[in-house]
Amino acid sequence: MMRLFSPRKTTLMFVIRDKTRTPLENLEPVLREDIQKIWDSVPKPEAHKETPLSEFFHVEVVALSSYEEKEELFKEQVSNLRQRFFHSIAPGGLAGDRRGVVPASGFSFSAQEIWKVIKENKDLDLPAHKVMVATVRCEEIANEKYSSFTECESWCQLEEASRSDLVSGFGKKLNSLLHTSLTKYDSEATFFDEGVRSLKRKQLEEKLLQLAQPAHQAILGHLRSGTLEKFKEAFEKALNGGEKFSVAARNCTESYMALFDEGYQDAFVELANWDSSKVREKLRRDIDAHVASVQAAKLAELTSSYEVRVKEALYGPVESLFDGANNETWLSIRNLLRCETESAVRGLSSGLSGFDLDENARGKTITTLEDYAKGVIETKAREEAGRVVVRMKDRFSNLFAYDADSMPRVWTGKEDIRFITKTARVECLKLLSVMAAIRLDDTADNIEKILFTALLDPSSSAAAIKSNKAGDPLASSTWDQIPPAKTMITPVQCKTLWRQFMTETEYSVTQAISAQEANRRSNNWLPPPWAIVALLILGFNEFMTVLRNPLYLGLIFVGYLVIKAAWVQLDIPGQFRYGILAGLLSISTKLIPTIMNILRKLSEPAPVATTGANNPPRHLTAATKALENGSTRSSTASSGNKTEYSGHNKEQ
């Protein structure tokens, strides 16, 4: 137009489909800038070197909304744009500036002049006849060869096989089929125009390669997936064989990437310039992803095994240390934690040496194990703190009911119950102070002092509260110098738990005091001293009478024997075992028959046989046996009573 015609405007309309949220005011300047660059790069005649784009073209930019999101608005905008084509010469239409418009009466002459100019200008001349024939015939030959290739049985079998599995010699087979088809085209199109023939041959080659490329991509896909599976198997086998992780990963990766390259050479097509770098890169990414996943699993397994070891090494000993909690408990726990953590870290570091980890990842893994060990301690401590009252009661029971030799205490009246109780409570309060907070950091605190002052010494605690304007030291939810995250039992909870502990152990102390008093009363069988003095003074005459007449002594002795035998045979203590009334009724029914039986045995005549020094009279033997039986039963009953009483005291 610049060479042959005078400048006249033509409308260049750019339609932007599915406009996004970016305003059209921002998109239009970008398009206009690109169009201006194109105009500036176009070679122009001297007459129009400086002619602006606006002299030849009217540039217009139109944007249409998204069809998917705003279908109705899209259709409306398309309809409006269509009207601008239908009514191109109307105001707002797409016709140019009307400067080159020829009236209808001059159209015939104008068309002749246009054709004359085209024939005289070689750049605008129509192609020669032989070129036109070559174009049509070469295109027909190319289409025929393309159809023959698609219907070729060898190609169909090769394509079908490539869909399911890797085909050996795929590249050579496909290259042979392509070469055969192109050779046939060359033999039939050899006499046509060389330019046209070459152009159509190139188009045929592009179409054939475009048809065959999916099969080639399928072969590469099978090669990639097969190589990846073989890599996984070899990698797992190397790891199971004891090879270090990083060495196994590096060796297997290099080996199977080389195997992929060998497989690609078998699938390479000489006529095609296909690039396999994307498939190779995807295989490398898949291998790296598999190595990373296996590494993560192995690291998790390794870390988990050492976490289990740490838990087993800490859980039981920590529970034992809390069971015997004292002032050195947390120091022992810290030493135990440090020792077990260092041992586990050494083992973990040795295990991590087989992985190709940087210092940051290595340090993070070790830190995770150390934090886990601390978490085990804290979890166990909080678990033990949840049943601190049970442990306090057990400790109080052991210290209060058993002596230093672990023998059960028998409350005989000589024990200092107040001192024993205070000692046991002091130890229980130490246990409470130990369980009040987590002390994995070697920092001092005054929890024990506060608890002893507030709970064991009420007088000093009351005085301290009066002198201290802050009030009760246990009326708080936090400890001084102890962060809330390390607090297991708050001061308020300590006060509540101590009150509960005192209530639940008070019964044991009361029972011990009662048993001690009962023991004292049972052991004190003598009358009071004043009664003994009165008995001696008032019974002096009777004593003298008995002493002057020995017959009374014999009668008293016989009476003693009778009463003793009756006591044993009637089992007087056993009769009162079920109550006083039941005992009296039972004794009243058995008393007379028992006395008569004893007297009858005493009055039996002696045997007729000769009696010597070694054969005492029968009545004396019977009486002696009766007395012996009575004494034996008395001893047995007394032992039974003592045993029963001791058992009763133990239960108390």
Q: Tens of pLDDT along 40-79?
A: 888 777 777 888 888 888 889 999 998 888 899 999 999 9
* pLDDT, averaged across the chain: 79
Residue 201 in domain? yes
Q: Do 221 and 306 share a domain, yes or no? A: no
Q: Is residue 623 very low, low, confident or very high in pLDDT (cuts 50, 70, 90)?
A: very low
End position of a domain, from candidates 241, 274, 307: 274
Contacts of 87 (CB under 8 A, 6+ apart): 93
Q: Which residue has the tokens 């990414």?
A: 285
Instruction: Look up the domain containing 90 and give its range.
Output: 10-100
Least confident segment among 206-210, 405-409, 569-573 = 569-573
Same domain for 434 and 472?
yes
Same domain, yes or no: 461 and 370: yes
**223 with 353, same domain?**
no
Token digits for 440?
């994995």
The model's pTM is 0.52
Q: What is the dihedral of CA 597, 598, 600, 605, to 10 degrees?
A: 140
Q: Are residues 429 and 514 in the same domain?
A: yes
User: Taking 60 as the threshold, does the pLDDT of residue 642 lie above it?
Assistant: no
The answer to whether residues 355 and 331 belong to one domain is yes
Does any domain span residue 114? no
Domain presence at residue 641: no
Same domain, 301 and 426: yes
Which tens digits make up the pLDDT trace of 94-116? 776 666 666 777 778 778 877 77
In a domain, 124, yes or no: no
Q: Which positions ≥6 away from 647 have C-beta within 8 Å?
A: none
- pLDDT tens sequence across 521-546: 666 556 667 877 887 788 777 777 77
State how many domains the chain has.
Answer: 4
Residues 397, 514 share a domain: yes
Decide which of 312 and 589 is more confident: 312
- The rounded distance, in Å, linking the Cα atoms of 437 and 385 is 9
Q: Which domain-ending residue is among 509, 525, 541? A: 525
What is the reported pLDDT for 15? 92
Q: 467, 501, 525 — which closes off a domain?
A: 525
Give the residues across from 62 on adjacent strands.
Answer: 15
User: If you average pLDDT over residues 504-524, what whole number do you get?
Assistant: 80
Dihedral over alpha carbons 129, 132, 134, 136 (to 10 degrees): -140
Give dist(CA 477, CA 384) in Å, integer: 20
Q: Are 330 and 439 in contact (CB under 8 A)?
A: yes
- Does 597 map to a domain? no
Residue 631 is predicted with a pLDDT of: 38
Bigger pLDDT: 214 vs 609: 214
Residue 540 lies in a domain: yes
Stronger pLDDT, 412 or 524, i.e. the higher one: 412
Q: Which residue has the higher pLDDT, 593 or 30?
A: 30
Question: Residue 4 has what pLDDT?
Answer: 57
Only one residue has tokens 């049972």, namely: 522
Q: Is 358 inside a domain boundary?
A: yes
Query: Do 89 and 139 fall within a single domain?
Result: no
Structural domain contains residue 123: no
303 and 180 assigned to the same domain: no
Q: Which of 112-121, 122-131, 323-332 has the lowest mean pLDDT?
A: 122-131
Among residues 427, 436, 414, the alpha carbon closest in space to that of 515 is found at 414
pLDDT, tens digit, for every residue of 430-463? 888 888 888 888 788 888 888 888 887 755 555 5
Residues 200 and 301 in one domain: no
505, 506, 510, 513: CA torsion to nearest 10: 70
| pLDDT above 70: residue 333 | yes
d(CA 319, CA 241): 40
- H/E element holding 10? strand 10-16
Distance CA 426, CA 498 (A): 12
Q: Which residue has the tokens 């080159």?
A: 100
Clarify whether residues 64 and 187 are in a common domain. no
CA 306 to chain centre: 15
> pLDDT category, 615, cuts 50, 70, 90?
very low
d(CA 531, CA 537): 10
Report the pLDDT value the prediction gives residue 77, as an integer from 0 to 100. 92
